[in-house]
Structure 1
Amino acid sequence: MPDDRDARQHRRARRCGQTTVIDLVGHHLRALGHLVHTTTEPSRGPIGQLARSHADVLHGYALASLVAADRYHHLDAELRPRRDSGHIVLCDRYLPSTLVLQRIDGVRLDFLEAVNAHVDLPDLAVLLTVAPRVAATRVHARGGAHSRFHQGPSSTAQEIVCYEQTATWLTDRRVPVLRVDTTTSSPNEVATTITEGIVAMLSTERVNPHPR
Structure 2
Amino acid sequence: MAFIVFEGGEGVGKTTQLEFLHKALKKQGRNCLLTREPGGTPFAEQIRSLFKQVDPSIESPIPLTELLLVSASRAQHIAKVIRPELCEEKIILCDRFLDSTYVYQSILGKIPKQTIDIISHIFLEDLLPDLTFIFTADLDVALQRIAKEKKRASDRMDTQEKEIHQIIKEGYTKIYQEQYQYPNGKVPNRILIDANQSKELIHSQIKYALEKHLGISI
Counterpart secondary structure, 1:116: helix
Contact 1:129 1:181 in 2 (8 A): yes
AA at the equivalent of 1:49: Q
3-state DSSP class of the match of 2:196? coil
The answer for unaligned runs of 5 or more in structure 1 is 1-14, 205-212
Bigger helix fraction: 1
Name the residue aligned to 1:201: 213
Change over 3 Å in CA distance of 1:190–1:152 after alignment to 2: farther
For each residue in 1:62-81, what CA deviation from the matched residue of structure 2 results, as whole angstroms up to 9, or x when unmatched?
12111111111111101111
* CA pair 59-147 structure 1, distance change in 2 beyond 3 A: farther
Query: What per-residue deviation string (whole Å, max 9, x for no partner) do you get for residues 156-196 of structure 1?
Result: 2101221122222049733111111111312x432332232
Aligned to 2:147: 140
CA distance in 1, matches of 2:14, 2:23: 14
Aligned length in residues: 189
Partner of 1:207: none
Aligned to 2:133: 126
Q: Is the 8 A contact 1:25 1:191 kept in 2?
A: yes
Distance 1:136 1:197, change over 3 A: same
Identity of aligned residues (%): 22
Aligned partner of 1:52: which letter? S
**Residue 91 of structure 1, aligned match among 91, 94, 109:** 94
Give the secondary structure class of the aligned counterpart of 2:23: helix
Q: How do 1:75-114 residues align onto structure 2 when only pairs under 5 Å count?
A: 75-103=78-106, 104-114=108-118
**2:64 matched residue in structure 1:** 61
Higher Cα radius of gyration = 1
Say which structure, 1 or 2, has more relative contact order (CA 8 Å, 6+ apart).
2
State the alpha-carbon separation in 2 of the partners of residues 49 and 69 from structure 1.
11
What's 1:157 paired with?
166
In structure 2, the partner of 1:35 is 31
Question: Structure 2-normalised TM-score?
Answer: 0.76
CA gap of 1:145–1:164, structure 2 versus 1, over 3 A, is farther
